[in-house]
A and B are shown apart, each in its own frame.
Chain A
Amino acid sequence: MSDVLVVSEHRRGELRDVSYEAITAGRELADARGGDLRVAAIGGDVDGFAEDLNREGVDAVHAVANGEEFDHNVYQSAVGALLERTDAGTVVIPNSVNGLDYAPAVAEEHDLPLVTDAIGFEYDDGLTVTREMYGSKVETTVDVDGDRFVLTVRGGEWAPAEGVGDATVESVEVDHPESGARVTGFEEVAGGDVDISEADVLVSVGRGIEEEENLELVEELADALGATLSASRPIVDNGWLPKNRQVGQSGKVVTPDVYIAIGISGAVQHVAGMKGSDTIVAINTDPNAPIFDIADYGVVGDLFDVVPELIDEFA
Protein backbone atom coordinates (compact mmCIF):
# COMPACT_ATOMS: atom_id res chain seq x y z
CA MET A 1 0.00 0.00 0.00
CA SER A 2 3.04 2.27 -0.07
CA ASP A 3 2.77 3.17 -3.77
CA VAL A 4 1.46 6.54 -4.81
CA LEU A 5 -0.99 7.01 -7.70
CA VAL A 6 -0.93 10.35 -9.52
CA VAL A 7 -3.85 11.04 -11.85
CA SER A 8 -2.93 13.25 -14.80
CA GLU A 9 -5.27 15.76 -16.39
CA HIS A 10 -5.86 16.61 -20.02
CA ARG A 11 -8.27 18.67 -22.01
CA ARG A 12 -8.97 18.65 -25.74
CA GLY A 13 -5.97 16.51 -26.55
CA GLU A 14 -3.39 18.26 -24.36
CA LEU A 15 -1.99 17.21 -21.00
CA ARG A 16 -2.27 20.12 -18.59
CA ASP A 17 0.93 21.38 -16.87
CA VAL A 18 -0.36 20.53 -13.43
CA SER A 19 -0.04 16.84 -14.40
CA TYR A 20 3.76 17.14 -14.42
CA GLU A 21 3.72 19.14 -11.20
CA ALA A 22 1.60 16.44 -9.54
CA ILE A 23 4.21 13.89 -10.64
CA THR A 24 6.88 15.84 -8.72
CA ALA A 25 4.67 15.95 -5.63
CA GLY A 26 3.85 12.26 -6.05
CA ARG A 27 7.53 11.33 -6.35
CA GLU A 28 8.33 13.15 -3.08
CA LEU A 29 5.54 11.29 -1.39
CA ALA A 30 6.53 7.92 -2.85
CA ASP A 31 10.13 8.44 -1.68
CA ALA A 32 8.95 9.25 1.84
CA ARG A 33 6.69 6.19 1.86
CA GLY A 34 9.27 3.90 0.24
CA GLY A 35 6.93 3.05 -2.60
CA ASP A 36 6.64 3.27 -6.36
CA LEU A 37 5.15 6.15 -8.29
CA ARG A 38 2.30 5.22 -10.60
CA VAL A 39 0.72 7.69 -12.99
CA ALA A 40 -2.67 7.26 -14.63
CA ALA A 41 -3.67 8.72 -17.99
CA ILE A 42 -7.42 8.34 -18.34
CA GLY A 43 -9.27 8.89 -21.61
CA GLY A 44 -8.20 10.52 -24.86
CA ASP A 45 -4.89 9.68 -26.56
CA VAL A 46 -3.69 7.59 -23.64
CA ASP A 47 -0.74 6.07 -25.52
CA GLY A 48 0.59 9.49 -26.46
CA PHE A 49 -0.07 10.78 -22.95
CA ALA A 50 1.70 7.73 -21.47
CA GLU A 51 4.82 8.61 -23.45
CA ASP A 52 4.74 12.24 -22.25
CA LEU A 53 4.05 11.24 -18.65
CA ASN A 54 7.02 8.88 -18.53
CA ARG A 55 9.20 11.46 -16.80
CA GLU A 56 12.14 10.83 -14.51
CA GLY A 57 11.02 9.09 -11.33
CA VAL A 58 7.85 7.53 -12.74
CA ASP A 59 7.80 3.76 -12.20
CA ALA A 60 4.58 2.84 -13.98
CA VAL A 61 2.08 4.49 -16.27
CA HIS A 62 -1.45 3.12 -16.49
CA ALA A 63 -3.04 4.08 -19.79
CA VAL A 64 -6.77 3.77 -19.20
CA ALA A 65 -8.43 3.80 -22.62
CA ASN A 66 -11.98 4.84 -21.74
CA GLY A 67 -13.59 7.73 -23.60
CA GLU A 68 -12.14 10.97 -24.89
CA GLU A 69 -12.72 13.90 -22.55
CA PHE A 70 -13.04 14.08 -18.78
CA ASP A 71 -15.94 12.12 -17.28
CA HIS A 72 -16.01 11.98 -13.50
CA ASN A 73 -17.56 8.52 -13.42
CA VAL A 74 -14.79 7.11 -15.60
CA TYR A 75 -12.09 8.80 -13.52
CA GLN A 76 -13.58 7.58 -10.25
CA SER A 77 -13.92 4.03 -11.57
CA ALA A 78 -10.40 4.02 -13.03
CA VAL A 79 -8.86 5.20 -9.76
CA GLY A 80 -10.89 2.58 -7.90
CA ALA A 81 -9.69 -0.17 -10.23
CA LEU A 82 -6.05 0.91 -9.86
CA LEU A 83 -6.32 1.07 -6.06
CA GLU A 84 -7.64 -2.46 -6.13
CA ARG A 85 -5.19 -3.94 -8.66
CA THR A 86 -1.96 -2.22 -7.63
CA ASP A 87 -0.07 -1.44 -4.45
CA ALA A 88 -1.19 2.18 -4.56
CA GLY A 89 -2.70 3.28 -1.27
CA THR A 90 -2.62 6.99 -1.78
CA VAL A 91 -3.86 9.23 -4.58
CA VAL A 92 -2.55 12.61 -5.74
CA ILE A 93 -4.90 14.63 -7.97
CA PRO A 94 -4.53 18.14 -9.43
CA ASN A 95 -6.57 20.70 -7.50
CA SER A 96 -8.40 21.83 -10.63
CA VAL A 97 -12.05 22.25 -11.55
CA ASN A 98 -12.10 18.70 -12.90
CA GLY A 99 -9.95 17.34 -10.06
CA LEU A 100 -12.51 18.64 -7.57
CA ASP A 101 -15.26 16.99 -9.64
CA TYR A 102 -14.07 13.48 -8.70
CA ALA A 103 -11.38 13.56 -5.96
CA PRO A 104 -13.96 14.00 -3.16
CA ALA A 105 -15.97 11.08 -4.58
CA VAL A 106 -12.86 8.88 -4.65
CA ALA A 107 -12.08 9.72 -1.02
CA GLU A 108 -15.67 9.08 -0.02
CA GLU A 109 -15.98 5.78 -1.91
CA HIS A 110 -12.78 4.37 -0.44
CA ASP A 111 -13.24 5.92 2.99
CA LEU A 112 -9.96 7.83 2.76
CA PRO A 113 -9.21 11.18 4.40
CA LEU A 114 -9.15 14.04 1.90
CA VAL A 115 -7.04 17.19 1.96
CA THR A 116 -7.49 19.58 -0.94
CA ASP A 117 -5.46 22.46 -2.34
CA ALA A 118 -2.13 21.47 -0.79
CA ILE A 119 0.73 23.92 -1.32
CA GLY A 120 3.26 21.71 0.43
CA PHE A 121 3.59 18.67 2.65
CA GLU A 122 5.90 16.69 4.88
CA TYR A 123 5.73 12.98 5.43
CA ASP A 124 7.40 11.42 8.45
CA ASP A 125 5.24 9.09 10.49
CA GLY A 126 2.25 10.43 8.62
CA LEU A 127 1.22 13.21 6.33
CA THR A 128 1.27 16.87 7.34
CA VAL A 129 -0.15 19.15 4.65
CA THR A 130 0.46 22.88 4.31
CA ARG A 131 -2.54 24.77 2.96
CA GLU A 132 -3.99 28.24 3.11
CA MET A 133 -7.09 29.42 4.92
CA TYR A 134 -9.10 32.61 5.14
CA GLY A 135 -8.51 33.61 1.53
CA SER A 136 -4.70 33.22 1.61
CA LYS A 137 -4.32 35.38 4.72
CA VAL A 138 -2.87 32.53 6.77
CA GLU A 139 -1.23 29.18 6.24
CA THR A 140 -2.01 26.11 8.28
CA THR A 141 -0.49 22.71 8.79
CA VAL A 142 -2.98 19.87 8.81
CA ASP A 143 -2.18 16.42 10.21
CA VAL A 144 -3.86 13.48 8.53
CA ASP A 145 -4.83 10.46 10.60
CA GLY A 146 -3.99 7.25 8.75
CA ASP A 147 -1.37 6.34 6.16
CA ARG A 148 -3.69 6.31 3.17
CA PHE A 149 -5.35 9.44 1.83
CA VAL A 150 -6.40 11.50 -1.18
CA LEU A 151 -4.49 14.73 -1.71
CA THR A 152 -5.18 17.44 -4.28
CA VAL A 153 -2.24 19.68 -5.13
CA ARG A 154 -2.42 23.31 -6.21
CA GLY A 155 -0.95 24.19 -9.60
CA GLY A 156 2.29 26.15 -9.70
CA GLU A 157 3.54 24.96 -6.29
CA TRP A 158 5.74 22.06 -7.42
CA ALA A 159 8.23 22.18 -10.28
CA PRO A 160 7.12 20.14 -13.29
CA ALA A 161 8.77 16.72 -13.57
CA GLU A 162 11.31 16.59 -16.38
CA GLY A 163 13.51 14.12 -18.22
CA VAL A 164 12.58 10.67 -19.47
CA GLY A 165 11.84 7.84 -17.09
CA ASP A 166 11.84 4.10 -17.56
CA ALA A 167 8.28 3.44 -16.53
CA THR A 168 6.47 0.30 -17.50
CA VAL A 169 3.34 1.17 -19.48
CA GLU A 170 0.19 -0.81 -18.96
CA SER A 171 -2.84 -0.40 -21.22
CA VAL A 172 -6.11 -1.10 -19.55
CA GLU A 173 -9.83 -0.52 -19.85
CA VAL A 174 -12.06 -0.32 -16.81
CA ASP A 175 -15.72 -1.01 -16.19
CA HIS A 176 -17.69 2.01 -15.10
CA PRO A 177 -21.33 2.80 -14.42
CA GLU A 178 -23.26 4.55 -17.16
CA SER A 179 -22.79 8.22 -16.60
CA GLY A 180 -25.66 10.28 -15.28
CA ALA A 181 -23.73 13.40 -16.21
CA ARG A 182 -23.16 13.72 -19.95
CA VAL A 183 -20.86 16.30 -21.53
CA THR A 184 -22.57 17.75 -24.60
CA GLY A 185 -19.94 20.30 -25.64
CA PHE A 186 -17.58 23.12 -24.77
CA GLU A 187 -17.90 26.86 -25.07
CA GLU A 188 -15.23 29.55 -25.21
CA VAL A 189 -16.57 32.41 -23.18
CA ALA A 190 -13.69 34.84 -23.07
CA GLY A 191 -13.86 35.99 -26.70
CA GLY A 192 -15.18 39.31 -27.97
CA ASP A 193 -13.93 42.69 -29.11
CA VAL A 194 -10.98 43.13 -26.74
CA ASP A 195 -8.13 40.71 -26.15
CA ILE A 196 -6.58 41.75 -22.83
CA SER A 197 -3.80 39.19 -23.31
CA GLU A 198 -2.49 41.34 -26.20
CA ALA A 199 -2.25 44.57 -24.18
CA ASP A 200 1.12 46.08 -23.20
CA VAL A 201 -0.32 47.96 -20.24
CA LEU A 202 -3.31 46.79 -18.20
CA VAL A 203 -5.21 48.81 -15.63
CA SER A 204 -6.97 46.10 -13.67
CA VAL A 205 -9.77 46.77 -11.22
CA GLY A 206 -11.08 44.69 -8.32
CA ARG A 207 -13.61 44.61 -5.52
CA GLY A 208 -12.10 47.74 -3.93
CA ILE A 209 -13.88 49.88 -6.52
CA GLU A 210 -17.08 49.18 -4.53
CA GLU A 211 -19.71 50.50 -6.97
CA GLU A 212 -20.32 50.16 -10.69
CA GLU A 213 -20.44 53.97 -11.13
CA ASN A 214 -16.89 54.18 -9.77
CA LEU A 215 -15.57 52.26 -12.78
CA GLU A 216 -15.44 55.63 -14.56
CA LEU A 217 -12.44 56.46 -12.43
CA VAL A 218 -10.35 53.51 -13.63
CA GLU A 219 -11.59 53.95 -17.20
CA GLU A 220 -10.29 57.49 -17.01
CA LEU A 221 -6.94 56.22 -15.72
CA ALA A 222 -6.72 53.63 -18.49
CA ASP A 223 -7.36 56.39 -21.04
CA ALA A 224 -4.74 58.64 -19.47
CA LEU A 225 -2.15 55.86 -19.59
CA GLY A 226 -3.10 54.49 -22.99
CA ALA A 227 -3.85 51.23 -21.21
CA THR A 228 -6.49 48.53 -21.58
CA LEU A 229 -8.98 47.91 -18.78
CA SER A 230 -9.19 44.47 -17.19
CA ALA A 231 -10.69 43.18 -13.95
CA SER A 232 -10.65 40.55 -11.26
CA ARG A 233 -13.47 38.08 -10.85
CA PRO A 234 -15.96 39.95 -8.61
CA ILE A 235 -16.28 42.77 -11.16
CA VAL A 236 -17.24 40.29 -13.86
CA ASP A 237 -19.49 38.29 -11.51
CA ASN A 238 -21.39 41.51 -10.83
CA GLY A 239 -21.83 42.03 -14.54
CA TRP A 240 -19.98 45.37 -14.45
CA LEU A 241 -17.52 44.27 -17.13
CA PRO A 242 -17.78 41.44 -19.65
CA LYS A 243 -16.09 38.09 -19.15
CA ASN A 244 -13.41 38.81 -21.76
CA ARG A 245 -11.95 41.41 -19.35
CA GLN A 246 -11.39 38.89 -16.56
CA VAL A 247 -7.82 38.08 -15.50
CA GLY A 248 -7.25 34.85 -13.62
CA GLN A 249 -7.53 31.10 -13.60
CA SER A 250 -11.02 31.04 -15.06
CA GLY A 251 -10.43 34.11 -17.25
CA LYS A 252 -7.37 35.11 -19.25
CA VAL A 253 -3.71 34.65 -18.44
CA VAL A 254 -1.96 37.94 -19.19
CA THR A 255 1.71 38.95 -19.37
CA PRO A 256 1.76 42.69 -20.11
CA ASP A 257 4.79 44.96 -19.67
CA VAL A 258 2.96 46.75 -16.86
CA TYR A 259 0.04 45.48 -14.80
CA ILE A 260 -1.62 47.99 -12.46
CA ALA A 261 -3.81 46.23 -9.88
CA ILE A 262 -6.29 48.62 -8.32
CA GLY A 263 -8.33 47.44 -5.36
CA ILE A 264 -7.40 43.82 -6.06
CA SER A 265 -6.47 41.73 -3.01
CA GLY A 266 -4.61 39.13 -5.05
CA ALA A 267 -6.41 35.86 -4.45
CA VAL A 268 -4.48 32.87 -5.76
CA GLN A 269 -6.87 32.42 -8.69
CA HIS A 270 -6.22 35.99 -9.79
CA VAL A 271 -2.46 35.82 -9.32
CA ALA A 272 -2.34 32.68 -11.48
CA GLY A 273 -3.52 34.88 -14.35
CA MET A 274 -1.08 37.80 -14.06
CA LYS A 275 2.06 36.81 -12.17
CA GLY A 276 4.00 36.65 -15.45
CA SER A 277 3.63 40.41 -15.99
CA ASP A 278 6.98 42.23 -16.32
CA THR A 279 6.16 44.97 -13.81
CA ILE A 280 3.34 44.76 -11.30
CA VAL A 281 2.01 47.82 -9.52
CA ALA A 282 -0.58 47.47 -6.75
CA ILE A 283 -2.77 50.03 -5.02
CA ASN A 284 -4.66 48.63 -2.03
CA THR A 285 -5.78 49.79 1.42
CA ASP A 286 -4.84 46.50 3.12
CA PRO A 287 -1.07 46.30 3.75
CA ASN A 288 -1.40 42.52 4.19
CA ALA A 289 -3.12 41.99 0.84
CA PRO A 290 -1.39 39.10 -0.97
CA ILE A 291 -1.11 41.26 -4.11
CA PHE A 292 1.84 43.05 -2.46
CA ASP A 293 3.72 39.73 -2.30
CA ILE A 294 4.06 39.68 -6.06
CA ALA A 295 4.03 43.42 -6.73
CA ASP A 296 7.17 45.31 -7.75
CA TYR A 297 5.73 48.63 -6.59
CA GLY A 298 3.01 49.08 -4.02
CA VAL A 299 0.94 51.95 -2.70
CA VAL A 300 -0.84 51.23 0.57
CA GLY A 301 -3.67 53.67 0.31
CA ASP A 302 -7.18 54.43 -0.78
CA LEU A 303 -7.61 54.08 -4.53
CA PHE A 304 -10.16 56.92 -4.46
CA ASP A 305 -7.38 59.26 -3.25
CA VAL A 306 -4.47 57.88 -5.27
CA VAL A 307 -6.05 57.23 -8.68
CA PRO A 308 -7.33 60.82 -9.27
CA GLU A 309 -3.86 62.13 -8.43
CA LEU A 310 -2.31 59.64 -10.82
CA ILE A 311 -4.71 60.70 -13.59
CA ASP A 312 -3.60 64.31 -12.98
CA GLU A 313 0.04 63.28 -13.36
CA PHE A 314 -0.70 62.06 -16.89
CA ALA A 315 -3.25 64.71 -17.85
Chain B
Amino acid sequence: MKVLVTVKEVAEPDDDFAIEGTDIAEADLEYDLNEWDDYAVEAAVQLAEAGIADEVVAVTIGPERAEETIRMALAKGADRAVRVWDDAFEEGFSDVAAKVTTFEAVVEAEEPDLVLGGVQAADTGFGATGVALAERIGFEHAAVVNDLEVDADAGVARVHRELEGGVEELTDVDLPAVLTVQTGLNEPRYASLRGIRQAQRKEIDAKDLADLGLSAADVESALAITSMYEPESESDAEIIEGDAGEAAGRLAEVLREKGVSA
Protein backbone atom coordinates (compact mmCIF):
# COMPACT_ATOMS: atom_id res chain seq x y z
CA MET B 1 0.00 0.00 0.00
CA LYS B 2 1.21 3.45 -0.90
CA VAL B 3 0.65 6.45 1.35
CA LEU B 4 0.80 10.04 0.16
CA VAL B 5 1.24 12.68 2.88
CA THR B 6 0.44 16.29 2.08
CA VAL B 7 2.64 18.65 4.05
CA LYS B 8 2.87 22.41 4.19
CA GLU B 9 5.55 24.75 5.33
CA VAL B 10 3.71 27.33 7.40
CA ALA B 11 4.72 30.79 8.49
CA GLU B 12 4.50 31.84 12.11
CA PRO B 13 4.73 35.50 13.05
CA ASP B 14 7.14 36.64 15.75
CA ASP B 15 5.63 38.14 18.92
CA ASP B 16 6.29 41.56 17.44
CA PHE B 17 5.43 41.83 13.77
CA ALA B 18 4.61 44.41 11.16
CA ILE B 19 2.00 44.12 8.43
CA GLU B 20 3.11 45.12 4.95
CA GLY B 21 0.27 45.35 2.44
CA THR B 22 -1.86 42.25 2.83
CA ASP B 23 0.62 40.04 4.66
CA ILE B 24 3.00 40.03 7.58
CA ALA B 25 6.47 41.39 6.81
CA GLU B 26 8.76 38.62 5.61
CA ALA B 27 11.38 39.51 8.23
CA ASP B 28 8.85 38.84 11.02
CA LEU B 29 7.95 35.31 9.90
CA GLU B 30 9.51 32.00 10.92
CA TYR B 31 8.88 28.92 8.80
CA ASP B 32 8.22 25.42 10.04
CA LEU B 33 6.46 22.18 9.16
CA ASN B 34 2.74 22.60 9.87
CA GLU B 35 2.03 21.05 13.26
CA TRP B 36 -0.96 19.01 12.03
CA ASP B 37 1.06 17.65 9.11
CA ASP B 38 3.73 16.46 11.54
CA TYR B 39 1.13 14.07 12.99
CA ALA B 40 0.16 12.96 9.47
CA VAL B 41 3.81 12.19 8.64
CA GLU B 42 4.14 10.21 11.86
CA ALA B 43 0.98 8.24 11.08
CA ALA B 44 2.31 7.38 7.62
CA VAL B 45 5.74 6.35 8.91
CA GLN B 46 4.12 4.15 11.57
CA LEU B 47 2.11 2.42 8.82
CA ALA B 48 5.39 1.74 6.99
CA GLU B 49 7.03 0.42 10.16
CA ALA B 50 4.06 -1.88 10.74
CA GLY B 51 4.54 -3.31 7.26
CA ILE B 52 1.21 -1.93 6.07
CA ALA B 53 2.61 0.80 3.82
CA ASP B 54 5.27 -0.09 1.24
CA GLU B 55 6.05 3.47 0.39
CA VAL B 56 5.47 6.89 1.95
CA VAL B 57 5.65 9.88 -0.38
CA ALA B 58 5.47 13.43 0.97
CA VAL B 59 4.07 16.13 -1.30
CA THR B 60 4.09 19.88 -0.79
CA ILE B 61 3.14 23.00 -2.69
CA GLY B 62 5.87 25.43 -1.80
CA PRO B 63 8.88 27.43 -3.00
CA GLU B 64 12.47 26.22 -2.84
CA ARG B 65 12.70 27.43 0.76
CA ALA B 66 10.18 24.68 1.67
CA GLU B 67 12.73 21.97 0.86
CA GLU B 68 14.13 22.38 4.36
CA THR B 69 10.74 21.56 5.79
CA ILE B 70 9.95 18.69 3.47
CA ARG B 71 13.38 17.25 4.24
CA MET B 72 12.23 17.01 7.86
CA ALA B 73 9.47 14.68 6.65
CA LEU B 74 12.13 12.63 4.85
CA ALA B 75 14.32 12.58 7.96
CA LYS B 76 11.39 11.23 9.95
CA GLY B 77 10.96 8.35 7.53
CA ALA B 78 9.13 9.35 4.35
CA ASP B 79 10.80 7.61 1.38
CA ARG B 80 10.78 10.48 -1.08
CA ALA B 81 9.13 13.81 -1.74
CA VAL B 82 7.48 15.82 -4.48
CA ARG B 83 7.59 19.61 -4.32
CA VAL B 84 5.39 21.58 -6.68
CA TRP B 85 5.95 25.26 -7.29
CA ASP B 86 5.28 27.67 -10.07
CA ASP B 87 5.33 31.41 -10.64
CA ALA B 88 1.54 31.13 -10.85
CA PHE B 89 1.41 30.50 -7.08
CA GLU B 90 3.24 33.77 -6.43
CA GLU B 91 0.35 35.72 -7.95
CA GLY B 92 -1.80 35.76 -4.83
CA PHE B 93 -3.70 33.69 -2.35
CA SER B 94 -4.38 30.17 -3.65
CA ASP B 95 -7.88 28.94 -2.97
CA VAL B 96 -8.81 25.38 -2.05
CA ALA B 97 -9.65 24.41 -5.63
CA ALA B 98 -6.20 25.52 -6.86
CA LYS B 99 -4.48 23.31 -4.31
CA VAL B 100 -6.81 20.43 -5.07
CA THR B 101 -6.07 20.73 -8.81
CA THR B 102 -2.36 20.53 -8.05
CA PHE B 103 -2.65 17.59 -5.67
CA GLU B 104 -5.00 15.81 -8.08
CA ALA B 105 -2.24 15.79 -10.69
CA VAL B 106 0.21 14.37 -8.15
CA VAL B 107 -2.31 11.71 -7.09
CA GLU B 108 -2.77 10.70 -10.73
CA ALA B 109 0.98 10.19 -11.07
CA GLU B 110 1.52 8.48 -7.71
CA GLU B 111 -1.70 6.41 -7.40
CA PRO B 112 -1.75 6.21 -3.59
CA ASP B 113 -4.17 4.02 -1.61
CA LEU B 114 -4.27 6.44 1.29
CA VAL B 115 -3.74 10.19 1.48
CA LEU B 116 -2.99 11.74 4.88
CA GLY B 117 -2.76 15.44 5.66
CA GLY B 118 -3.25 17.74 8.62
CA VAL B 119 -6.73 18.99 9.56
CA GLN B 120 -5.64 22.53 8.75
CA ALA B 121 -2.64 24.73 8.12
CA ALA B 122 -1.60 26.82 11.11
CA ASP B 123 -1.26 30.01 9.03
CA THR B 124 -4.33 30.12 6.79
CA GLY B 125 -6.57 27.82 8.84
CA PHE B 126 -8.95 26.82 6.06
CA GLY B 127 -9.29 23.17 7.05
CA ALA B 128 -10.72 22.20 3.68
CA THR B 129 -8.12 20.85 1.25
CA GLY B 130 -8.28 17.17 2.26
CA VAL B 131 -12.04 16.78 1.99
CA ALA B 132 -12.20 18.76 -1.27
CA LEU B 133 -9.39 16.61 -2.68
CA ALA B 134 -11.27 13.43 -1.79
CA GLU B 135 -14.31 14.69 -3.68
CA ARG B 136 -12.20 15.57 -6.73
CA ILE B 137 -10.34 12.26 -6.97
CA GLY B 138 -13.25 10.04 -5.98
CA PHE B 139 -11.76 8.80 -2.68
CA GLU B 140 -13.70 8.32 0.53
CA HIS B 141 -12.76 10.65 3.38
CA ALA B 142 -12.92 11.45 7.06
CA ALA B 143 -12.09 14.81 8.61
CA VAL B 144 -10.51 15.43 12.01
CA VAL B 145 -9.19 11.94 12.71
CA ASN B 146 -7.61 11.38 16.13
CA ASP B 147 -7.36 7.60 16.11
CA LEU B 148 -6.38 5.44 13.14
CA GLU B 149 -6.12 1.75 12.47
CA VAL B 150 -5.67 0.52 8.90
CA ASP B 151 -6.94 -2.95 7.99
CA ALA B 152 -5.32 -3.32 4.59
CA ASP B 153 -6.78 -6.79 3.97
CA ALA B 154 -10.33 -5.54 4.53
CA GLY B 155 -9.52 -2.32 2.66
CA VAL B 156 -10.80 -0.24 5.56
CA ALA B 157 -9.41 2.51 7.79
CA ARG B 158 -11.04 2.41 11.22
CA VAL B 159 -10.91 5.93 12.59
CA HIS B 160 -12.16 8.10 15.40
CA ARG B 161 -13.30 11.57 14.43
CA GLU B 162 -12.90 14.12 17.18
CA LEU B 163 -16.20 15.96 17.52
CA GLU B 164 -16.77 18.93 19.82
CA GLY B 165 -17.32 18.48 23.54
CA GLY B 166 -15.24 15.40 24.26
CA VAL B 167 -17.18 13.08 21.95
CA GLU B 168 -15.58 10.90 19.29
CA GLU B 169 -17.34 9.37 16.31
CA LEU B 170 -16.18 5.86 15.38
CA THR B 171 -16.19 5.41 11.62
CA ASP B 172 -15.08 2.75 9.13
CA VAL B 173 -13.79 4.36 5.95
CA ASP B 174 -13.32 2.35 2.76
CA LEU B 175 -9.97 2.70 1.02
CA PRO B 176 -8.79 4.47 -1.02
CA ALA B 177 -9.38 7.43 1.26
CA VAL B 178 -8.21 10.86 2.31
CA LEU B 179 -7.97 11.36 6.07
CA THR B 180 -7.31 14.70 7.74
CA VAL B 181 -5.30 14.22 10.89
CA GLN B 182 -5.86 16.00 14.20
CA THR B 183 -3.06 16.79 16.64
CA GLY B 184 -2.76 14.19 19.38
CA LEU B 185 -3.23 11.23 16.99
CA ASN B 186 0.24 9.97 17.89
CA GLU B 187 3.55 11.25 19.22
CA PRO B 188 5.49 12.73 16.32
CA ARG B 189 9.12 11.65 16.55
CA TYR B 190 12.11 13.92 16.41
CA ALA B 191 14.28 13.27 13.39
CA SER B 192 17.31 11.22 14.41
CA LEU B 193 20.80 12.21 13.28
CA ARG B 194 20.82 9.09 11.15
CA GLY B 195 17.46 10.07 9.69
CA ILE B 196 18.71 13.56 8.91
CA ARG B 197 21.79 12.10 7.18
CA GLN B 198 19.69 9.67 5.17
CA ALA B 199 17.29 12.45 4.19
CA GLN B 200 20.14 14.25 2.42
CA ARG B 201 20.28 11.36 -0.05
CA LYS B 202 16.54 11.01 -0.55
CA GLU B 203 14.93 12.42 -3.64
CA ILE B 204 12.93 15.64 -3.69
CA ASP B 205 11.32 15.84 -7.11
CA ALA B 206 10.72 19.50 -7.94
CA LYS B 207 7.95 20.05 -10.45
CA ASP B 208 6.24 23.06 -11.94
CA LEU B 209 2.71 23.16 -13.29
CA ALA B 210 3.79 22.26 -16.83
CA ASP B 211 5.46 19.10 -15.49
CA LEU B 212 2.06 18.11 -14.11
CA GLY B 213 0.27 18.91 -17.36
CA LEU B 214 -1.28 22.04 -15.85
CA SER B 215 -1.18 25.73 -16.64
CA ALA B 216 -1.50 28.92 -14.60
CA ALA B 217 -5.16 29.15 -15.61
CA ASP B 218 -5.84 25.83 -13.84
CA VAL B 219 -4.80 27.27 -10.49
CA GLU B 220 -6.43 30.66 -10.79
CA SER B 221 -7.89 31.61 -7.43
CA ALA B 222 -11.44 32.80 -6.78
CA LEU B 223 -10.28 34.46 -3.58
CA ALA B 224 -8.18 37.55 -2.97
CA ILE B 225 -6.97 38.89 0.36
CA THR B 226 -7.79 42.58 0.25
CA SER B 227 -6.63 43.66 3.70
CA MET B 228 -4.87 42.44 6.80
CA TYR B 229 -4.85 44.17 10.16
CA GLU B 230 -4.37 43.51 13.83
CA PRO B 231 -7.78 43.07 15.43
CA GLU B 232 -8.70 45.87 17.81
CA SER B 233 -8.05 44.62 21.26
CA GLU B 234 -11.34 44.19 23.06
CA SER B 235 -9.36 43.87 26.23
CA ASP B 236 -10.50 45.66 29.30
CA ALA B 237 -8.08 43.64 31.37
CA GLU B 238 -6.22 45.27 34.22
CA ILE B 239 -2.64 44.63 33.17
CA ILE B 240 -0.65 44.18 36.34
CA GLU B 241 2.68 45.97 36.13
CA GLY B 242 5.91 45.53 38.01
CA ASP B 243 8.47 42.80 38.45
CA ALA B 244 7.46 39.19 39.11
CA GLY B 245 7.26 39.73 42.87
CA GLU B 246 5.11 42.85 42.63
CA ALA B 247 2.87 41.28 40.00
CA ALA B 248 2.40 38.16 42.13
CA GLY B 249 1.58 40.34 45.13
CA ARG B 250 -1.16 42.24 43.32
CA LEU B 251 -2.44 39.01 41.75
CA ALA B 252 -2.67 37.38 45.17
CA GLU B 253 -4.69 40.37 46.39
CA VAL B 254 -7.09 39.98 43.45
CA LEU B 255 -7.43 36.24 43.95
CA ARG B 256 -8.18 36.66 47.68
CA GLU B 257 -10.84 39.25 46.83
CA LYS B 258 -12.43 36.63 44.58
CA GLY B 259 -12.47 34.17 47.45
CA VAL B 260 -9.54 32.02 46.41
CA SER B 261 -7.69 30.34 49.27
CA ALA B 262 -6.32 26.92 49.90
Residues of A within 8 A of B161 (CB): 97, 101
- How many chain A residues touch B (CB < 8 A): the figure is 99
Complex: A286 Cα to B166 Cα, angstroms: 29
Partner of B231 from the list A97, A117, A138 (CB cut-off 8 Å) is: A138
- Given A100-B144, A233-B183, A108 and B15 contact (CB-CB distance below 8 Å): no
B169 touches A (CB below 8 Å): yes
Q: Is the CB of A144 within 8 A of B170?
A: no
Residues of A within 8 A of B252 (CB): 310, 313-314
Nearest CB in chain B: distance from A288 CB, A: 6
B262 touches A (CB below 8 Å): yes
The 0/1 profile, CB within 8 Å of B marked 1, for residues 128-168 of chain A is: 10011111111111111110000000000000000000000
Complex: A182 Cα to B156 Cα, angstroms: 10
Nearest CB in chain B: distance from A242 CB, A: 11
The B interface, classified by DSSP as helix, strand, loop or mixed, is mixed
Q: Which of A22-30, A31-39, A81-89, A243-251 contacts B (4 or more CB under 8 A)?
A: A243-251
Q: Is the CB of B126 within 8 A of A116?
A: yes
The 0/1 profile, CB within 8 Å of A marked 1, for residues 190-223 of chain B is: 0000000000000000000000000000000111
Complex: A137 Cα to B173 Cα, angstroms: 36
Q: In this complex, what residue of B is CB-closest to A238?
A: B187
Pick the most buried of B19, B167, B172: most chain A CB atoms within 10 A of its CB: B167
Nearest CB in chain B: distance from A127 CB, A: 10
Q: Which of B51-59, B76-84, B92-100 contacts A (4 or more CB under 8 A)?
A: B92-100
- Given A134-B13, A137-B230, A257-B259, A249 and B223 contact (CB-CB distance below 8 Å): no
Nearest CB in chain B: distance from A160 CB, A: 16
- How many chain B residues touch A (CB < 8 A): the figure is 87
Nearest CB in chain A: distance from B144 CB, A: 5
Complex: A304 Cα to B254 Cα, angstroms: 20
Partner of B164 from the list A96, A113, A227, A298 (CB cut-off 8 Å) is: A96
Q: Is the CB of A117 within 8 A of B127?
A: yes
Complex: A100 Cα to B164 Cα, angstroms: 12
Nearest CB in chain B: distance from A223 CB, A: 7
B65 touches A (CB below 8 Å): no
Q: Is the CB of A102 within 8 A of B131?
A: yes
Q: Which of B210-262 contact A (CB under 8 A)?
A: 221-231, 233-240, 243-245, 247-249, 251-252, 254-255, 258-262
Residues of A whose CB lies within 8 Å of any CB of B are: 11, 70, 72, 76, 96-98, 100-105, 107-109, 111, 113-117, 128, 131-146, 180-190, 201, 223-227, 233-234, 236-239, 243-244, 246, 249-253, 257-258, 260, 278-279, 281-282, 285-288, 292-302, 305-306, 309-310, 312-314
Residues of B whose CB lies within 8 Å of any CB of A are: 11-13, 15-17, 19, 22, 24, 93, 95-97, 100, 119, 122-132, 134-136, 140-144, 160-174, 177, 183-184, 187, 221-231, 233-240, 243-245, 247-249, 251-252, 254-255, 258-262
- Knowing that A114-B132, A297-B254 are A-B contacts, what are 4 other residue pairs whose CB atoms are under 8 Å apart, sorted by A's residue number? A70-B169, A97-B163, A288-B230, A293-B235
